[in-house]
Amino acid sequence: MTLHRRNVIKLGGALVVALSLALWASLLPAQSGKVEVHWLGQATFKITTPGGKVIVIDPFVTGNPKTPADQKDLAKLGKVDLILVTHGHGDHVGTAGRNDGGSDLVDLAKRSGAKVFGPAGLIQSLIDIGWLTNEQGVRFGKGGKVQPLGSQITITQGAPSTRRS
């Protein structure tokens, strides 16, 4: 499976959620494990830290044409500790390709109990329509840094790029 650059960085004017490279540099010598990054198509990634924490970014799995057939079941993701969502398009929250009115993001959050971090307006909308609870949805502003899984993992949300391709 070829990973095309445009498929990974094509986030439009959305806020981009990134894990700090400094985190990995500081963790790797101290931990015996490795960081595992599993690309599941489009902008969907499953990251497993050396400490065993699992982070899923933009969970568009069940209807994603790029997700391998044997990975289209959300249960196959296993334990999920944190879900990050960059913006509300269907190919990022997992409504695309679904005919049941549901969302992979919401189903994964309910199944795992993981908190969902994302742009303030999107998270508030998901709470307002009842897809997330106030406790589960965490509004996250651009330029902000959070450590939702402890001091070993820092997540920084950057400002959108003004460059268009």
Q: How do residues 59-105 score in pLDDT, each as one tens digit?
A: 999 999 999 999 999 999 999 999 999 888 888 888 898 888 889 99
The pLDDT tens digits for 117-128 are: 998 999 999 999
| Res. 163 pLDDT band, cuts 50 70 90 | low
Q: Distance between CA 59 and CA 46 in Å, rounded?
A: 9
Residue type, 96: A
**Structural domains of the chain, with CATH:** 17-158 (3.60.15.10)
* CA-to-CA dists, residue 37 to 48, 50, 54, 159, angstroms: 7, 11, 10, 23
| Res. 156 pLDDT band, cuts 50 70 90 | confident
* Cβ neighbours for 79, distance < 8 A, ≥ 6 positions apart: 54, 112
Q: Distance between CA 130 and CA 22 in Å, rounded?
A: 36
**pLDDT attached to residue 77:** 92
**pLDDT attached to residue 19:** 40
